[in-house]
Structure 1
Amino acid sequence: MAGKAAAVVCGWWARRKAAARRDAGMTTSEYAVGTIAAAAFAAVLYKIVTSGAVSGALESVIGKALDASF
């Protein structure tokens, strides 16, 4: 009985290794999609931060922080 269980485990392991080899390029595409999404998010964030209203608010906050007395 132990021989049969070992054969089942070895068969399962061989199938898992074969499946992992077929999916080898998948991680590269996932990194590419993640990089594109991060770049798009950075572009949107840059547009928001450089807009007139947000830029004025940031300058006001920094100006108040620099003029604060200790």
Structure 2
Amino acid sequence: MFSTPRSRLVGLVDSDAGMASSEYAIVTIAAAALAGILYAVVTGEPVTAALEGLVRRALDVAF
């Protein structure tokens, strides 16, 4: 059966071809940005000092 120009146009507009790839790309970029932010926070002075204090207290425990 032949399709009408209108049905072909609707098919093009409703097509989701390629959407998965673009969604993966956006999620990958967001994950990389989040990883960068977390790295900056964890390597910051206050967090490093807190972790160092926690380790020192754990090692100073008397058995």
TM-score range, shorter chain: 0.5 to 0.7
Indicate yes or no: 2:12 matched with 1:23: no
- Unmatched 5+ stretches in structure 2: 1-10
- Unmatched 5+ stretches in structure 1: 1-17
Measured in 2, the distance between the counterparts of 1:27 and 1:68 equals 53
Match of 1:40 in 2: 33
TM superposition score normalised by structure 2: 0.68
Q: How many residues align?
A: 52
Deviations along 1:22-63, whole A, 9 cap, x unmatched?
212101100100010010001001001101111010111122
Measured in 2, the distance between the counterparts of 1:22 and 1:54 equals 48
Root mean square deviation of aligned Cα: 2.1
Which amino acid in 1 is paired with 2:52?
E
| Sequence identity percentage | 52
Which amino acid in 1 is paired with 2:32?
A
TM superposition score normalised by structure 1: 0.62
Runs of 4+ displaced beyond 3 Å: none
Kindly state the Cα deviation for residue 66 of structure 1 after the two structures are TM-superposed: 2.9
Which amino acid in 1 is paired with 2:38?
L
**1:53 aligns with one of 40, 46, 53:** 46
